[in-house]
Amino acid sequence: MKFDENGKPFHIQQAEQIRLYKDGWKKAGHAREPRVSVSRSIFALMNDRDRLYFGQQGKGSDSFGYIEPTQRAVFGKGYAAEPDQLIRELAADEALQEADTVLLTMPNTLGVDYNVHVLSAILEHVAPGLGWK
């Protein structure tokens, strides 16, 4: 979530912010590359349980709303799809391309075993297709 600056999709606005940060970093004279992390809800739909829990989430889109009376905000969409589709969608996320770290948001109410399944599916079926390490 971030304040909406121009009505563009969340991932584009976030990528624009990251690029400005990187430019500012270089102009400040720092020798090393800056670290940048983004957060995403990502679920590879591997079985009927995954589809039940998250299948509708992948059909969503960014949403806009107000968290302060005069500041409109944009909330990024969640990603949920079969691994091949997920790879295509995530490859098009500009902010993910600008970041060096992805923080995955997890549904802790579903328990440790299910979260291990979620992470394993991403590590085994999605991350390699995106070149993630």
With respect to residue 30, please indicate whether it lies within any of the assigned structural domains: no
Position 72 scores a pLDDT of 84
Q: What is the pLDDT of residue 60?
A: 75
The answer to whether position 29 is within a domain reads no
CA distance 82 to 50: 10
Sequence-separated (6 or more) residues with CB below 8 Å from residue 113:
none
Whether residue 63 is contained in a domain is answered as yes
Enumerate the H helices of 55-111 as residue ranges.
Answer: 83-91, 94-98
Instruction: Give the C-alpha separation, 20 to 41, whole Å.
Output: 24
What's residue 128's pLDDT? Answer: 97
Domain membership of residue 81 as a residue range? 2-23+35-130
Phi, psi for residue 56 in degrees, rounded to 5: -75, -25
Query: Average of pLDDT values for 95-109?
Result: 93
- Looking at the domain assignment, is residue 110 inside a domain? yes
Nearest-angstrom CA–CA distance, 66 and 74: 9
Residue 54 lies in a domain: yes
| The pLDDT value given to residue 1 | 79
pLDDT surpasses 80 at 74: yes
What does the pLDDT look like over 107-131, one tens digit per residue?
889 999 999 999 999 999 999 999 9
Residue 94 within any structural domain of the chain: yes
pLDDT digits (tens, 9 = 90+) for 7-30: 889 899 999 999 999 999 999 999
Where do we find the tokens 């589809």? 51
Q: Which of 105, 108, 109, 117 is nearest to 50 (CA)?
A: 117
Domain contains 28: no
Q: What is the pLDDT of residue 4?
A: 81
The total of structural domains in the chain comes to 1
> pLDDT tens-digit profile of 47-70?
999 999 999 876 778 878 898 888
Q: Is residue 88 in a domain?
A: yes
* pTM of the shown model: 0.87
